[in-house]
Amino acid sequence: SVLSGLLPPGSVPTGRLRIGGEVFTDRELAGADRRWRGLRGRRIGSIPQSASTSFTPVRSVGAQLDEVIGILDGSRDAVELCRRVHLDPAALRLYPHELSGGMAQRAAIAAALAGDPDTIVADEPTSALDAELAADIWELLAEAASAGAAVLVITHDVETMRRGCDSVAVMRAGRIVDHRRLDEIVASDDAYVAGFFERVP
Q: How far apart are CA 139 and CA 152, in angstroms?
A: 14
Distance of CA 26 to the CA centre of its chain: 22
Q: Is residue 161 part of a domain?
A: no
Q: Is residue 160 part of a domain?
A: no
109 & 146 share domain: yes
67 & 139 share domain: yes
32 & 65 share domain: no
Task: Give the N- to C-terminal CA distance of the chain in Å, as an integer.
Answer: 31
The CATH number of the domain where 69 resides is what? 3.40.50.300
Threshold 0.75, pTM exceeds: yes
147 & 49 share domain: yes
60 & 137 share domain: yes
176 & 110 share domain: no
Helix (H) / strand (E) element for 196: namely helix 191-197
Domain hosting residue 13, numbered range:
1-40
66 & 115 share domain: yes
Q: Is residue 139 part of a domain?
A: yes
90 & 55 share domain: yes
Residue 75: which of 118, 117, 115, 43 has the closest Cα? 115
Q: Is residue 171 part of a domain?
A: yes
114 & 190 share domain: no
- The per-residue pLDDT string of the chain (201 residues; one tens digit each, 9 = 90 and over) reads 556 555 666 667 777 777 777 787 777 666 655 666 666 667 888 888 888 788 999 999 999 999 999 988 888 899 999 998 999 999 999 999 999 988 999 999 999 999 888 889 898 888 777 888 888 888 888 888 998 889 999 888 787 777 778 899 999 888 899 999 988 998 888 888 888 877 554
129 & 55 share domain: yes
50 & 146 share domain: yes
36 & 58 share domain: no
Domain count, the chain: 3
